[in-house]
Structure 1
Amino acid sequence: MSLAFFLLTLGTVSLITGAALALNIRGAAAAAARYAAANAALAMHARGDLGSPKRVMSKQVYRYLGAVMGLAGLLLTLGGLLELAF
Structure 2
Amino acid sequence: MSLATVLLAVGPVALVTGATVALNVRGSADGLERRATGNQQRAMHARGELGPPERVASAQFYRYLAALIAFGGLVLTLGGLLELV
User: TM-score by structure 2 length?
Assistant: 0.93
Which position in structure 2 is the counterpart of 1:63?
63
Superposed CA RMSD in Å reads 1.0
Which position in structure 2 is the counterpart of 1:6?
6
List, as ranges, runs of 4+ consecutive aligned residues in structure 1 with deviation greater than 3 Å. Answer: none
Q: Secondary structure at the match of 1:52?
A: coil
Q: Secondary structure at the match of 2:54?
A: coil
In structure 2, C-alpha distance between the alignment counterparts of 1:9 and 1:46, rounded to whole Å: 41
Total equivalences in the alignment: 85
Instruction: Mark the runs of 5 or more structure 2 residues left unpaired by the alignment.
Output: none
Superposed, 1:32-71 pairs within 5 Å as: 32-71=32-71
Instruction: Mark the runs of 5 or more structure 1 residues left unpaired by the alignment.
Output: none
